[in-house]
Amino acid sequence: MSKTVETYYYGNGRVFLRPVGSIGNGGWRWAGDVSTLTFGGTDETASHKESYSGQKSKVRSFSIGGDRTIKGTWHQVDPVTIAELLRGTIAEITAGTVTGEVFPDTVAVGDVIKLDKPYNVSDLVITDSAGSPITLDPEHYDAFLEHGSIELLSLPSGPAPTQPFKAAYKHAGARQVAFFNAPPKEMQLRYEGINLAEGNAPVIAEFYKISTAPLQELALITSGNELAGMAYEAECLADSTRPANGPLGRFGRYVAINPIQ
């Protein structure tokens, strides 16, 4: 009878990231809800087939390198995650008040105007450019305040307004991500999981140096009954600061934690 103990795996857990070069054991950021996480790779081989038997039999095959990748599905759709996956930077926009924002010189019925600060607009007032400005009654436009959009429905018949119109309003703060204006960052990834198939046994997987690929798809309009997910992919690199034959290796490690005795 084999002495091998059957061990199966069904994992859930948390993923943490931090920049390579972080000092000490701190600086980790939880990646939020991650529904899939896999590690794999391919080997590059060199081989030789003999030329003496007429069979062209392969007589040598050996590894000369390979690629190692991490793939996952990220559900934390926030500015920090988007900035990391689209190599961007985050700008903080403070709440404020705008006065005298000028519309285009001539707007016609049916035109849609986008305000300069389209962040949960409130206290919107639109006036014309007459010497004694006339306030445009809200019945003449639809205001989509959360996005700062205004659709002109009609114009007063008399007196005719003097264009351009001007807007005054308050707006909320926001966090803005600019795409691809920052260099890629090498990161460390740590998975702290539980194996549901073995009584929630704890496991850890660490990858010391990864290079994240740009996000291939960002779902903006969704349908069906599932939340949007972002496909994550990163290449595992060797951490040359670690000894090649050391107990932790240069790429990463998997730890199966024993029960408390």
> Number of C-alpha atoms within 13 angstroms, CB side, residue 28?
16
- Distance CA(61)–CA(170), nearest Å, equals 70
Read off the pLDDT of each residue in 123-131 and give the average, rounded to a whole number: 96
Summarize pLDDT for 189-213 with one digit per residue, the tens. 999 999 999 999 999 999 999 999 9
Q: What is the pLDDT of residue 260?
A: 83
Q: How do residues 79-122 score in pLDDT, each as one tens digit?
A: 999 999 999 999 999 999 999 999 999 999 999 999 999 999 99
Count of Cβ atoms closer than 10 Å to residue 207 Cβ? 21
pLDDT for 1 equals: 61
The token pair that represents 218 in the structure block: 């960002």
Give the number of other CB atoms < 10 A from CB of residue 173. 12
Question: 64 pLDDT exceeds 70?
Answer: yes
Contacts of 248 (CB under 8 A, 6+ apart): 208, 242
For residue 227, give the DSSP letter. -
Strands 58-74 and 252-256: unpaired
Tell me: pLDDT of 257 over 90.
yes
Query: Is pTM beyond 0.95 here?
Result: no
Q: State how far the Cα of 157 lies from the Cα of 80, in Å rounded to an integer.
A: 49
